[in-house]
A and B are shown apart, each in its own frame.
Chain A
Amino acid sequence: MFRNNYDNDSVTFSPQGRIFQVEYAGEAVKQGSVVVGIVSKTHAVLAALKRNAEELSSYQKKVIPIDTHYGVALAGLASDARVLSNFMRQESLRERLTYGRPMNLSEIANRIGERAQINTQQYGRRPYGVGLLISGVDRNGPHLFEFQPSGMVNEMLATSIGARSQMARTYLEKNLDQFADATKEELIKHALSALKDSLSQDKELTVDNTSVGVVGGGDLFKLYEGQEVSPMLASAFGEGEGEESMEVDT
């Protein structure tokens, strides 16, 4: 049987110049549940589908607020995301302490990119198994960055990562020209619609499994979960959507 000898570690190039361990780490991102990010000229929105291990367990956090002006959404290994988000919090606090100003988003995105790259070039380490969408507003306006385990960081207008995210990206590409001038409410609607497009047949967005992070227009980064997302779901998909889980035990 064919055995790939070049995929045991991240310090071996294949004859084609590929690093399989890094590519496999990229696959871990595709196993995670889907997250979406969009920016307009004024706002940045993150939306995520949360998963629970079993009926009685809680849902895995997907959107993590970092500083008052930005947050991240993750797809892949949540514990790796926690390491990176702790680092981002530390760096952001340091920026506020030493210079009295909020962290620049491209700067922090590149810093975690550089950190991740080290893991792809040294033996005894593994690449991070998580992809992140870093989104917020800094002195240059709203931004959205996509981070991959390879250390690749790209600034995007809108994007989606995670399981079946191609469907969400198709939605985003189709509606791309509407985002720049969209209002906050429209942007949230688009993000939820993109998220919905990537769901498998038997799933739907509910107040339990949907997270939304919003920042911009002078407001700080706010994470919406539980009942707080119910009006958003209602305005995106009509009143019927998510009703089932909005039931309160009587």
Chain B
Amino acid sequence: MTSIGTGYDLSNSVFSPDGRNFQVEYAMKAVENGGTAIGIRCKDGVVFAMEKLVVSKLVKPGANKKISTVDKNIGIVCSGLMPDGRHFVSRARDEAASWRGLYKAPIPTSALANRMGSYVQAYTLYSSVRPFGLTSILGGWDSEAELPVDGQVGSGPKVGAGGKKEGQKRGGPFLYMIEPSGLYWGYYGAATGKGRQSAKSELEKLNLSEGDITLEQGVKEAARIIYVAHEDSKDKDFELEMSWVSSLDGPTKGRHEEVPKALREEAEALAKKVIEGEDDDDEEAEGGATGDQMEE
């Protein structure tokens, strides 16, 4: 932070002599203290999970959802300034609606990531705005079926040349993470927020690039990872929020929605067990070291 006081960090859209945009870097600082959010791309869908810190017990439990849906098949979870997150989601919904208006079909996840990346980037260009204090994980399931055009009411001739390709492969799971700079990458597993470091190392252990992990496994891993990432701020209570989107023949029928309560609780119980198991191991190790003294 040697740059503080040089004046190059006082306005957005200004480069410092060594080519940095400090306001964007400061915006990233806003993200670093937000609740941990992760997304996992599984072979048959995408899972999102969010660590929601309970700031007061006056807040209604289970309300104030932080994971949002865009169109039907896309989910967004943000870490950072929550009001910026709502703005971001609102824009994403407008983009999805305008795509439908033009193409009469749902927006592909990649196209939405691209448009939202551009939108966030635009907020680094002008001194009249500030960057988003936000990193968002955006993912969805693009339909594997041949979708009717919006408003289509008939199926057309069933015989004759239709110009349709047999066995064409389309759709699938997609996951992106967009940073305050507007930069985005595609991910197998993405993590942001306070506990991102430990979440990332847990995600890496899953070998997601192999593409073996199923959605159900993904839900359980996601819950566990949030619990692991929460270990560093153990003193604070949190709620686990989870959502998922599956293929058309999967549990959500291609829609992005909240993970059912029963499954979430099952995943949470498992996660707690794993965490406690680790703690027990630690205690056992300690116990072993002091064993001699205890006998006395």
User: How near does chain A come to B236, taking the closest CB pair, in angstroms?
Assistant: 16
B58 pairs with A17, CB closer than 8 A: no
Which residues from chain B contact A121 at a C-beta distance below 8 Å?
84, 87, 123, 129-130, 132
Bound-state CA distance A114–B87 (Å) is 6
Closest-by-CB residue of A relative to B32 is A17
Bound-state CA distance A172–B12 (Å) is 42
Report if A240 contacts B (CB, 8 A).
no
Number of B residues contacting the other chain (C-beta, 8 Å)?
A: 38
User: How near does chain A come to B14, taking the closest CB pair, in angstroms?
Assistant: 11
Which residues from chain B contact A124 at a C-beta distance below 8 Å?
128
Report if A92 contacts B (CB, 8 A).
no
Looking at the complex, which one of A17, A144, A158, A173 makes contact with B29 (CB distance below 8 Å)?
A17
Looking at the complex, which one of B29, B59, B60, B123 makes contact with A16 (CB distance below 8 Å)?
B29
Report if B86 contacts A (CB, 8 A).
yes
Report if B28 contacts A (CB, 8 A).
yes
Which residues from chain B contact A157 at a C-beta distance below 8 Å?
58-60
With contact pairs A12-B130, A13-B130, A157-B60 given, residues A114 and B30 touching in the complex (Cβ less than 8 Å): no
Most buried by A among B12, B29, B81, B82: B81
Bound-state CA distance A172–B22 (Å) is 43
Report if B131 contacts A (CB, 8 A).
yes
Bound-state CA distance A170–B100 (Å) is 49
User: How near does chain B come to A116, taking the closest CB pair, in angstroms?
Assistant: 7
Give the residues from 44 to 92 in chain B that come closer than 8 angstroms, CB to CB, to chain A. Answer: 56-60, 63-64, 81-84, 86-87, 90
Looking at the complex, which one of A12, A114, A169, A172 makes contact with B11 (CB distance below 8 Å)?
A12
A173 pairs with B57, CB closer than 8 A: yes
Which residues from chain B contact A19 at a C-beta distance below 8 Å?
130, 133
A13 pairs with B27, CB closer than 8 A: yes
A17 pairs with B83, CB closer than 8 A: no
Report if B233 contacts A (CB, 8 A).
no
- The B contact surface, by secondary structure, is loop
Closest-by-CB residue of A relative to B3 is A15
Looking at the complex, which one of A16, A117, A158 makes contact with B83 (CB distance below 8 Å)?
A117
A12 pairs with B12, CB closer than 8 A: yes
User: How near does chain B come to A155, taking the closest CB pair, in angstroms?
Assistant: 4
A114 pairs with B86, CB closer than 8 A: yes
B129 pairs with A17, CB closer than 8 A: no
Give the residues from 136 to 173 in chain A that come closer than 8 angstroms, CB to CB, to chain B. Answer: 144, 150-159, 169, 172-173
A15 pairs with B23, CB closer than 8 A: no
Report if A98 contacts B (CB, 8 A).
no
B127 pairs with A123, CB closer than 8 A: yes
Q: 1/0 per residue A1-20: CB within 8 Å of B?
A: 00001100011111111110
Closest-by-CB residue of B relative to A120 is B83
Which residues from chain A contact B123 at a C-beta distance below 8 Å?
121
Report if B31 contacts A (CB, 8 A).
yes
Residues of A within 8 A of B (CB): 5-6, 10-19, 110, 113-114, 116-118, 120-124, 144, 150-159, 169, 172-173, 176
Apart from A116-B83, A169-B56: 19 A-B pairs, beta carbons within 8 A: A5-B10, A6-B10, A12-B11, A12-B23, A13-B23, A13-B133, A15-B1, A15-B22, A19-B133, A117-B86, A117-B87, A121-B129, A122-B128, A154-B59, A155-B59, A155-B63, A156-B58, A159-B56, A173-B56
List 20 A–B pairs whose Cβ atoms lie within 8 Å, in order of A's numbering. A10-B130, A12-B12, A12-B130, A13-B30, A17-B29, A17-B32, A19-B130, A110-B86, A114-B87, A117-B84, A121-B84, A121-B123, A122-B128, A123-B127, A144-B60, A154-B59, A154-B64, A159-B56, A159-B58, A172-B58
